[in-house]
Amino acid sequence: MIGTERHPRIYSQAREIMKTSKFNRRAFAGNILKTSAALTMPWNRLCRAVGSEFRLRFAEGSPIEVPPNFTGLGYEALSVATPGLLSPANQRYVNLIRGLGPQGVLRVGGIVADYTSYVPDAAPVNDRKNTVITRASLEQFAAFLGATGWTTIWSVNFAQGTIKQAIEEARAVAQTLGTRLLAVEIGNEVENYGNGSRFRPDPYTYEQYSGEFHEWRTAIAKAVPGVHFAGPDTAQSVDWVELMASEGKGDVQLLTTHYYRNGQARGSAEQLITPDLRLDAVIARMRTASQQSGIPWRMCEINSFSGGGLRGVSDTFLGSLWTLKTMMLLAQNGCSGVNMETGVNQLGFVSSYSPIQDDGKGINSAGVPYYGMLAFAAAFSGCHQVLPLEMNVLGEGVSACVFGSGGKPRSIVIVNMTPSEVKLSTESVGVDTASILWLTAPTLESRTGVSFGGGTVGADGHWKLEHKDRLRNGTVTVSKLSAAVLRVGEE
């Protein structure tokens, strides 16, 4: 369901076109952003290679189970040390989280975890190079998790801390959060510890890491019985995940890695418009490692461009569509969850890609990418499965996903990243009537005016449905550069 398996003929055509001097990838992306009606580039021919009208069809195979806590957000550790932020008193923030689903996972870690200490009775400090989390910080966070209904993955300082400190922190976290603690991570982007970070001598190999990890894990597990572990939490090194999975022995209950489309300085709108074969490869390898080991895998840190995102791209409607499409892709390929990175990053400012924004004065609001997550939440509500589709019947730039329950479709998500409207028939998947909620904006580069179901997220953090259309006779037309969520059985 990934890579060239999704669109074999289309991918082949795309590669040949991109080799020619007539196809300018940068010009293509720029024109897409302008949504010009005069587009005459190969993309149009590519989209229409299988016609502008598509028929959704089920593929052979069993439904893929999707955990109820699939949706997640990722935070640098300093967010927990910020008084009043992740707090039940911050009702606006509670509403924003709950708007994404009744269950989910907040991952606390990031690079700041490498500079964080737990000091029970100190004053909290939310400095990116010297964060201090206290007992009061944990109590505030526990109450916040209780108010949202979500759980957490918690990272201890493996980079600069000691085993003794990690034991004290893990014990305090487990005692305070209780069942809200999903797993403990030992380290963050650990394969980079020897790459000039000075955390470990260079080179730092998996064998060296594995020896340290198992020492820490054994000590923490002995001190905190019943605690679960996630790892290895790599930046890009899937081979480290594969090695950890092959070791088995029940030492980890969740395989984790990170993904960014590119670094901020090397990012572009085009990269969010076009498929990423590297992501396809990562997904394939993670899925295989999970299947062979029996350990679920989670993309526990992910977003558009590392370094805080690319302003004018990550924070636009394109970022919202990319977020929705990426979450769909991961769910379709057996990923057990995704944590979209949000909030203040390791550089000390609020990332442009953040689903939840912060004005620095205690006011939080929905960023543009939030609407992509909101659309996913609406589609996934009441479902626990992805029903397999024949992906090669769709044109390049058109993505679809069918969520279901008990093997029956409950919702359909369609993302149209092309400069032309597309018409899809849903009758072959047993859907002829449904309600339709549109995800739209004035242009692909819009940073305001984004809506879902005709409604926006208010100042109180609540989204309100304002308008929905009806699917009749099993055919839906999705406008260019937009998305739709079809809810079966809702009129």
Amino acid found at 362: G
The pLDDT confidence band at residue 17, using thresholds 50, 70 and 90, is very low
| pLDDT mean over 154-174 | 98
Average pLDDT, the chain: 90
The pLDDT confidence band at residue 109, using thresholds 50, 70 and 90, is very high
pLDDT at 489: 87
pLDDT at 11: 35
Q: Is the pLDDT of residue 47 over 60?
A: no
pLDDT one-digit tens code per residue, 432-468:
999 999 999 999 999 999 999 999 999 999 999 999 9
How far is 394 from 10, CA to CA, in rounded Å? 9
Mean pLDDT check: name the lowest of 8-22, 113-127, 183-197, 428-442. Answer: 8-22
Q: Is the pLDDT of residue 31 over 80?
A: no
Q: Is the pLDDT of residue 45 over 80?
A: no
- The larger pLDDT score, comparing residue 279 to residue 19, is at 279
Q: Is the pLDDT of residue 112 over 90?
A: yes
pLDDT at 491: 64
pLDDT at 52: 65
Domain 3-63+384-488 classification at class level: mainly beta
pLDDT at 118: 98
State the CB neighbour count (10 A cutoff) for residue 483: 28
pLDDT one-digit tens code per residue, 303-327:
999 999 999 999 999 999 999 999 9
pLDDT one-digit tens code per residue, 378-424:
999 999 999 999 987 788 899 999 999 999 999 999 999 999 999 99
Q: Which residues are within 8 A (CB) of 198 and not within 5 positions of it... i.e. 6 or more apart?
A: none
Task: Write down the residue that tokens 């977020």 correspond to.
Answer: 323
pLDDT at 100: 98
Amino acid found at 445: E
pLDDT at 388: 97
pLDDT at 44: 39
pLDDT one-digit tens code per residue, 212-226:
999 999 999 999 999
Intervals of CATH 3.20.20.80 along the chain: 67-380
pLDDT at 333: 97
pLDDT at 24: 44
Q: Is the pLDDT of residue 40 over 80?
A: no
Q: Is the pLDDT of residue 28 over 90?
A: no
Q: What is the largest CA-CA distance in the chain?
A: 66
Domain 67-380 has CATH 3.20.20.80: yes
Q: Is the pLDDT of residue 22 over 90?
A: no
Quick check: 376 and 72 in contact, CB under 8 A?
no
pLDDT at 472: 87
Intervals of CATH 2.60.40.1180 along the chain: 3-63+384-488
